[in-house]
Structure 1
Amino acid sequence: MDPRIRKHAEIIANHSVNLQEGDNVVVDAHPVAEDLVVALHEVIGEIGANPFTTSQRTGARQRRAYLRAGDDEYETPAHELALIEETDVYIAIRASDNVTQTSDVDPETSAAHQQAHQPILEERLSTRWCLTQFPAPANAQLAEMSTEGYEEFVWDAVNKDWDEQRDHQANMVELMDPADEIRIRSGDTTDVTMSIDGNPTRNDYGEHNLPGGEVFTAPVPDSVEGEVLFDMPLYHQGREITDVYLEFEGGEVVSHSAAKNEELLTEVLNTDDGARRLGELGIGMNRDIDQFTYNMLFDEKMGDTVHMAIGRAYDDTVSEDNEQNDSAVHVDMIVDMSEDSLIEIDGEVVQRDGTFVFEDGFEQ
């Protein structure tokens, strides 16, 4: 086995989820990620935990068959919920043999299915959980890379010194954590402000997401004002959405458009009331992720980017005194901040054209 796969498994177990003897572990993975699943089982066995493997979350082919055959009426599956309720550690491994497998599933059907699974999502988020990526050929193809090149890209981003990355990102946490207002500007198309007053800023250094490489928090839901053009595309439900434009008033999306698959964006925004508000603001800081790959797990961590997510806010980014935005969706979208862009915190510029105030090359 490639030693990088074994190292990947060890980082998941020992760093991301702090696996302990006796833990009940669910490994949710596509069959093409079998090598990483095998390596994980080896590590799990050495630690003395109890593994169970499923492809429920990432098995797009069977999910497509089920959703296309259904009637858009879904209930929360009690047996799946019961499994997660007995789970201590949940490890999801992204990999695919066809990244557009669900592209012909009706968006309304996907939204209804997602809503029915909301209690399962909430239960998973209460475990020690990790989402990671195995470098499958289909994902390499989507990234327009060779399989070997994509493997190097993934493992360079994953198998790194996470203590060093944590310390680098702590500089941004120190700036954001006590802040009241953040303003994001990019070119003539993005100028948005939001309050983060009282909400904690989190340092993601490879725990829940592997790779990590961002600092993030939740905006106060009704504080978001302005407009954003997300100039980097995203894949959602097997389809590409490009040039997403959102206009916010009083925290809600009041106008939206997209150059491609706008109807899918509309369905996402119509999922529930919370889908029209922001649940996350994240600042990408992983310099080892140096190219766009159509994979949000990596793309949102790129240096020189900011991402915002419509929908659910994570529990640990909202203070007891602030409202938490709730939704069945959490959809991240990215703004390129490498040129003609800045981030202001309480009126002070802390990043200009992708360079932070605490990095060499920052210009006042």
Structure 2
Amino acid sequence: MGMIEQFADLVVRAGANVQPGQGVVLRSDTAHLQIARVVAEAAYAAGASWVEPVFNDGPLRRSAVSHASLETLSTSRGWALARIEEWREQGFASILLAGDPDPHLFDGLDPARVAAQPVEEAQAMRRAMFGGMRWSIAAAPNAGWAQQVFGEPDLDRLWEAVGTAMRLDTADPVAEWQQRSATLGARGRVLDALELTEIRYVGEGTDLTVGLLPGTRWTGGGLVDEAGVPYLPNIPTEEVFTSPDRSKADGVIRLTKPVVIAGQLVTGLVVTFSGGVIVDVTASEGVDVVRAQLETDPGSRRLGEVSLVDKESRIAKAGIVFHNTLFDENAGCHVAWGQSFPFAVDGGMAMTPARRFELGLNESSVHTDVVIGGAGLTVTGRGAGGTVDIIKDDEWVL
């Protein structure tokens, strides 16, 4: 089995865990067409009844951003909302092949238009994913991505790095991920038992304290759907994470990895929080697209995730800046502004969005992960039992 076939098998069997007779929606950039075809084949081999391909294309998106009105770029389509609802009702699984082939494609365009999206469609897809649809996101190697990482379009070298990070270099990648998922899940249970009320990140340029909700639950590795079917929402994953109280975040963070937002590269980002709200952002590059995204909706300026990742992560050990959020967020601790996870509180999956919001979880059409971890970072938690060390100098000590 070649590397692409191993990749597809892992995403289908351990990621979305496609079941016989199940439909699959496969979302991908056209740059990943070859890989998408192999993933579709693997899904059918696993028993999928139908694979629905949904393709995006960067140059076509640039044309839209250049010429369509801001209102059009932001307007949701009834047929698209109906399609998402049908996927949810029919129990489809979702596979997303991520990986930006050209982070400079939108350079020179209006950041507000670049960041624009049909908000209702994004929210509907999140509701479907949090409402029973199993999903998995994996980054698909392409020459443009290799150019970003290595300065040359060395696709073979990128596949080697991705294969190591995704454990495709092992005899049984699916079994390896099941074991890693169990380890991360155990860390989550230890954190649950502490009943923490806040978490603090301290590192070079970072000092952020975030409040946690009563009944907070930490997730590591995979999830299990209502039918008891396990799946991995992200491959790779090296994190333990939860969603905080959206009204309690104070301090500053300095990114230790670049991030791509709405197709644009952002470097040197510094974000300041007060009373749970992002009140200031600066960056060496790409600050305008960050500011535009933060105007998307009322929840886009508040946190939806806090996470813990230590230097034992395979991505961290690779010593490579992947220029891809899915990988780089698993190289160090990160936070995300935007949408919260409903499973972050006891009984959250069974609650209405309004009830989750009332409890303190955030609601937004965006969810942007930014990495603040690495050498020198310390993370502590505070709860009824006092202060506890979780990570010291990027090493898990709890």
Scaled by the length of structure 2, the TM-score of the pair is: 0.82
- The match for 1:357 is 397
CA RMSD of aligned residues (A): 2.1
- The match for 2:55 is 55
Return the alpha-carbon distance in structure 2 between the equivalents of residues 150 and 335 of structure 1. 24
Instruction: Output aligned runs, 1:19-30, within 5 Å.
Output: 19-30=18-29
How far is 1:116 from its partner? 4.6
Are 2:188 and 1:163 equivalent residues in the alignment? Answer: no
- The match for 2:234 is 209
CA contact (8 A) 1:176 1:345 kept: no
How far is 1:231 from its partner? 3.0
Return the alpha-carbon distance in structure 1 between the equivalents of residues 327 and 157 of structure 2. 15
User: Structure 1 residue aligned with 2:262, among 234, 237, 243?
Assistant: 237
For 1:326, what is the secondary structure of its paired residue?
coil
Return the alpha-carbon distance in structure 2 between the equivalents of residues 97 and 310 of structure 1. 24
For 1:221, what is the secondary structure of its paired residue?
coil
User: Structure 1 residue aligned with 2:122, among 118, 131, 140?
Assistant: 118
Unmatched segments (≥5 aa) in structure 2: 223-230, 349-355
- The match for 1:43 is 42
- The match for 2:209 is 193
1:82-130: CA deviations, max 9, x gaps?
A: 2222221111112454332233442222344242533343245242111
- The match for 1:80 is 80
Return the alpha-carbon distance in structure 2 between the equivalents of residues 119 and 345 of structure 1. 31
How far is 1:32 from its partner? 3.1
CA contact (8 A) 2:268 2:285 kept: yes
For 1:73, what is the secondary structure of its paired residue?
helix
1:43-83: CA deviations, max 9, x gaps?
A: 22223321121213xx2221221222211113211222222
Are 2:252 and 1:227 equivalent residues in the alignment? Answer: yes
How far is 1:334 from its partner? 0.9
- The match for 1:328 is 365
Are 2:299 and 1:299 equivalent residues in the alignment? Answer: no
- The match for 1:130 is 136
Are 2:200 and 1:183 equivalent residues in the alignment? Answer: yes
Return the alpha-carbon distance in structure 2 between the equivalents of residues 98 and 194 of structure 1. 34
Instruction: Output aligned runs, 1:5-24, within 5 Å.
Output: 5-24=4-23
1:280-306: CA deviations, max 9, x gaps?
A: 11122562212211110100011xx21
CA contact (8 A) 1:258 1:265 kept: no
Return the alpha-carbon distance in structure 2 between the equivalents of residues 105 and 28 of structure 1. 25
Return the alpha-carbon distance in structure 2 between the equivalents of residues 262 and 33 of structure 1. 28
- The match for 2:158 is 150
Return the alpha-carbon distance in structure 2 between the equivalents of residues 184 and 278 of structure 1. 14
Return the alpha-carbon distance in structure 1 between the equivalents of residues 124 and 112 of structure 2. 19
How far is 1:207 from its partner? 0.8
How far is 1:209 from its partner? 1.0
- The match for 2:336 is 309
1:320-344: CA deviations, max 9, x gaps?
A: 57222111211111113312x2110
User: Structure 1 residue aligned with 2:104, among 94, 100, 104?
Assistant: 100
Q: Residue 182 of structure 2 aligns to which amino acid in structure 1?
A: D
Cα distance change, pair 34–196 in 1 and its aligned pair in 2 (3 A): same
More displaced stretch, 349-358 vs 99-108: 99-108
Return the alpha-carbon distance in structure 2 between the equivalents of residues 111 and 121 of structure 1. 18
Q: Residue 248 of structure 1 aligns to which amino acid in structure 2?
A: F
- The match for 1:261 is 286
For 1:156, what is the secondary structure of its paired residue?
helix
Give the number of equivalent residue pairs: 351
1:123-155: CA deviations, max 9, x gaps?
A: 452421111111111111111263221101111
Return the alpha-carbon distance in structure 1 between the equivalents of residues 117 and 163 of structure 2. 33
CA contact (8 A) 1:144 1:293 kept: no
Cα distance change, pair 164–208 in 1 and its aligned pair in 2 (3 A): same
CA contact (8 A) 1:103 1:237 kept: no
CA contact (8 A) 1:140 1:147 kept: yes
For 1:117, what is the secondary structure of its paired residue?
helix
For 1:349, what is the secondary structure of its paired residue?
strand
Q: Residue 342 of structure 1 aligns to which amino acid in structure 2?
A: T
CA contact (8 A) 1:204 1:215 kept: yes
Cα distance change, pair 295–31 in 1 and its aligned pair in 2 (3 A): same
Cα distance change, pair 274–38 in 1 and its aligned pair in 2 (3 A): same
For 2:71, what is the secondary structure of its paired residue?
coil
- The match for 2:352 is none
Scaled by the length of structure 1, the TM-score of the pair is: 0.89
CA contact (8 A) 1:5 1:35 kept: no
Return the alpha-carbon distance in structure 1 between the equivalents of residues 109 and 24 of structure 2. 31
How far is 1:182 from its partner? 0.8
CA contact (8 A) 2:100 2:263 kept: no
Identity %: 23
CA contact (8 A) 2:136 2:235 kept: yes
More displaced stretch, 92-101 vs 5-14: 92-101
Return the alpha-carbon distance in structure 1 between the equivalents of residues 82 and 297 of structure 2. 25
